[in-house]
Amino acid sequence: MIYYIYTQKELVFVEKVKEYLQEHLKEKEVVYLSFDDLDTLDISKVSHLLVTGCLEKIKRLLTIAHKNTLSVGIIPLLAQKELIRTFDLPTKTKEAVVLALTPTQKHIDLLYANDMMVLQEVVVGDAPPLDSFDSALNGKTYLDRIKIFWKTLRKVQTLRHTKMKITDAKENEIKFSAVGVVGVEYHNHTFASKLLASGLSSNDGKLSIVILSPTSILQYMGYLFKALVSHLTPKVLPDSVGVMRSSQLYIETQKPLEVLVDSSTLGQTPVLLKVKEKALALSVGTVFWEQQNQKNTLKDSIKVDNLPSDEERVSYLSEAIPLFAHASKAQYASLFSNLREESRVTQNFMVLLILSTMLATFGLFINSSSIIIGAMILAPLMQPIVSLSMGVLRQDSTLEIHGAKSIMVGVLVVLATSALLALFTPIERLTTEMIGRLSPTILDLFVAIVSGAAAAYVKSNEKILGSLAGVAIAVALVPPIAVAGIGLGWGDWSMFSMAFLLFITNLVGIVLSAAFTFAILGFSPLHLAKKGILTWMIIVTIVSIPLYSSFVKMEEKVAIQTTLSNMEFSIGRHEIILTNIEIWHRQPLDEIHCEVISTGILNSEEKKMLKEAILNSIGKEFVLIVTFMYRL
């Protein structure tokens, strides 16, 4: 016999259901019983159960069905949208009645929290947005999602880490620090289940928990933006999240945390989450089964390596979540050991520096970019600069002194080596590789800043140290000093000063951005880092003044080249075109070097007319150096 159990306050909805039941079953008998009279239910006469009511009432009947091995179908209220989505129940009442009346042979697992059934989720602590349903974004505009993002982000001020110990079914104890945990059994369209979608199964005897443990506001913002604004599920597990999967998980916390089951308060931690495998024959939609992981595995899963567990990080995270991450003691020890070693002047440092200088100088003379690139990779000058940046950040006088000393010694060695080579090399002509390092602009500073950030990031992660060579190529350190040394060897002060300005630009840009990157990576508290970063920001600002001036000159150079390029002049009987225009900065007047293609040979008067026409077109005085070519 089929029993339909319902709540009295939903009588209008129930009456409509009764009509559909009578229409569908016809001669079959259905017993109607309200939850108020549930004590009169004769289990021995029940063949199948139907239920309508609030979530707590539904779970009460599901418990009865589980204990008595009965099949059950849910006829949801229209307002129970999340229940409908979780079990793929029809939104139309008539179709929902048909599905609920259809007994199933497939059984689903049941999740319990301290012996209370969990249909949607169990939440320990606070874990936004993992405990929210993605339906909150349905129909929302991009602007609406940004508002939800900021509203959720503001909650980070109230989030506090707590030490947790989770024991799985195999008695493995996992310890870490987190702000909250969300436990799910089914793909219920919460943000937690979306992260687990490919691994969730409703009949494998395993439950899954998602652990929220952000170590910085920036890290948390990254996941929030992906989840709430871009509305995309990360393809890999976010750094602020951990996952555990087992048939049983016992959660203990240092401070009592509130436990919610399906949005209702259960109590406080500790809490035992346990799965009863294939415990209930529940009539669900086809999509529900399609969402299940078909590759059921008996193995438990633990992915918490990225969660903070050392005492130092746990201690400060319990106070508040910082803007930037805080590096662990192991990261500190490893990086500081390397930087202190690399900040010293050693035999290897000197040998490599001299060899790279010789390579760079010869490459500059023969105008070979490939040789110069080889010198960039070989040069060890980046190492003490990165060490100096850490000293600046941490106010570590030892690192600062050793790093600065190594840089000064290195610069003097490069200048001396390149000057001697220039002095004894019987060639004194500027190559394009040399010229390319004589006009530093604000753009070179931007390159140095980006390269410094890359260098710091690479040094903080041993797995990608091989990328440091690419950083060395991106921001050339030895070649501009070598050009400055060549200028010394030739006695050209202008050449020396402009090339050395490029090196200073690279140096200050790298130090500032590397220090700032190390701060973001958590290698120094902000109150300690502030002084050093502000000092070097002032230095960078000072260096930017001549760089900006050079940038203005570069803009002027481009404008002149654009104006004169392929410009046609009629001088006497001749038609003239200018090509291959270059601007050379000289004292007292800059020079324009170009090729003049003419239909005939110009006399002295015509050459003066050409000069006046060129200078009038650009509106500025220059020395013109031209090469005449004739069109036959």
User: Which run of H or of E encompasses 174?
Assistant: strand 173-178
Residue 34 has pLDDT above 70, yes or no: yes
SS3 state of residue 49: strand
What is the rounded distance in angstroms from the CA atom of residue 302 to the CA atom of residue 169? 12
Beta-bridge partners for 569: 576
Residue 201 has pLDDT above 80, yes or no: yes
pLDDT tens digit sequence for 417-468 = 999 999 988 888 888 889 888 888 888 899 999 888 888 888 876 666 555 5
Tokens of 200: 């969730």
Whether the CB-CB separation of 137 and 231 falls below 8 Å is answered with yes
Tokens of 243: 């996952």
| Site of tokens 């040394």 | 485
What is the rounded distance in angstroms from the CA atom of residue 6 to the CA atom of residue 54? 9
Residue 298 has pLDDT above 70, yes or no: no
What is the rounded distance in angstroms from the CA atom of residue 415 to the CA atom of residue 141? 60
pLDDT tens digit sequence for 206-224 = 999 999 999 888 888 888 8
What is the rounded distance in angstroms from the CA atom of residue 288 to the CA atom of residue 251? 29
pLDDT tens digit sequence for 556-570 = 888 888 888 878 888
SS3 state of residue 503: helix
What is the rounded distance in angstroms from the CA atom of residue 138 to the CA atom of residue 85? 13
Beta-bridge partners for 267: 259
Distance of CA 478 to the CA centre of its chain: 32
Q: Quick one: pLDDT at residue 462?
A: 63
Q: Quick one: pLDDT at residue 163?
A: 94
Name the strands in the sheet holding 241-246, side by side, starting at the edge strand that comes first in the sequence: 264-268, 258-261, 122-125, 180-184, 207-212, 241-246, 301-303
Report whether the peptide linkage leading into residue 588 is cis, meaning its omega lies within 30 degrees of zero.
Answer: yes
Residue 528 has pLDDT above 80, yes or no: no
Report the candidate in 584, 437, 419 with the shortest Cα–Cα distance to residue 505.
437
- Compute the average pLDDT of residues 470-477: 65
Q: Quick one: pLDDT at residue 343?
A: 81
- Compute the average pLDDT of residues 354-375: 91
Residue 473: pLDDT band by 50, 70, 90 thresholds? low
| Site of tokens 């500081």 | 336
Residue 403 or 310, more confident: 403
Tokens of 170: 């195999």
Q: Quick one: pLDDT at residue 439?
A: 83
Whether the CB-CB separation of 504 and 477 falls below 8 Å is answered with no
What is the rounded distance in angstroms from the CA atom of residue 206 to the CA atom of residue 108? 11
Mean pLDDT of the chain: 87
Q: Quick one: pLDDT at residue 630?
A: 86
Interhelix angle for 442-459 vs 526-564, to 10°?
A: 140
pLDDT tens digit sequence for 57-85 = 999 999 999 999 999 999 999 999 999 99
Q: Where are the alpha helices (DSSP H) in 460-524?
A: 468-474, 478-490, 493-520
HEC secondary structure over 533-568:
HHHHHHHHHHHHHHHHHHHHHHHHHHHHHHHHCCCE
- CA dist 438 → 72, 476, 488 (Å): 82, 13, 14
pLDDT tens digit sequence for 493-516 = 989 998 999 999 999 999 999 898
Residue 114: pLDDT band by 50, 70, 90 thresholds? very high
- CA dist 489 → 354, 484, 492 (Å): 17, 9, 8
SS3 state of residue 55: helix
Residue 465 or 276, more confident: 276
Q: Quick one: pLDDT at residue 235?
A: 77
What is the rounded distance in angstroms from the CA atom of residue 433 to the CA atom of residue 373? 11
> In the chain, how long is the greatest CA-to-CA distance?
122
Q: Quick one: pLDDT at residue 117?
A: 95
Report the candidate in 317, 361, 330, 607 with the shortest Cα–Cα distance to residue 483.
361
pLDDT tens digit sequence for 218-259 = 888 888 888 888 877 777 888 889 999 999 999 999 999 999
How many residues are given for the chain? 632
Q: Quick one: pLDDT at residue 209?
A: 95
- Compute the average pLDDT of residues 95-120: 93
Interhelix angle for 11-25 vs 93-101, to 10°?
A: 60
Residue 374: pLDDT band by 50, 70, 90 thresholds? confident
Other residues' Cβ atoms within 10 Å of the Cβ of residue 302: 14
Q: Quick one: pLDDT at residue 33?
A: 92
* Burial group, residue 207, by CB count within 10 angstroms (0-12, 13-18, 19+): buried
What is the rounded distance in angstroms from the CA atom of residue 237 to the CA atom of residue 337? 31
User: Which amino acid, residue 429?
Assistant: R
254 contact partners, CB below 8 Å, separation of at least 6: 162, 163, 164
Q: Quick one: pLDDT at residue 257?
A: 95
Exposure pattern of 68-91 as b/e (b: 16+ CB <10 Å)?
eebbbbbbbbeebebbbbbbbbbe
* Torsion sign (Cα): 128, 133, 135, 136: negative
Whether the CB-CB separation of 590 and 621 falls below 8 Å is answered with no
User: Which run of H or of E encompasses 24?
Assistant: helix 11-25
pLDDT tens digit sequence for 4-18 = 999 988 889 999 999
What is the rounded distance in angstroms from the CA atom of residue 595 to the CA atom of residue 431? 18
What is the rounded distance in angstroms from the CA atom of residue 475 to the CA atom of residue 458? 15
- Compute the average pLDDT of residues 606-624: 88
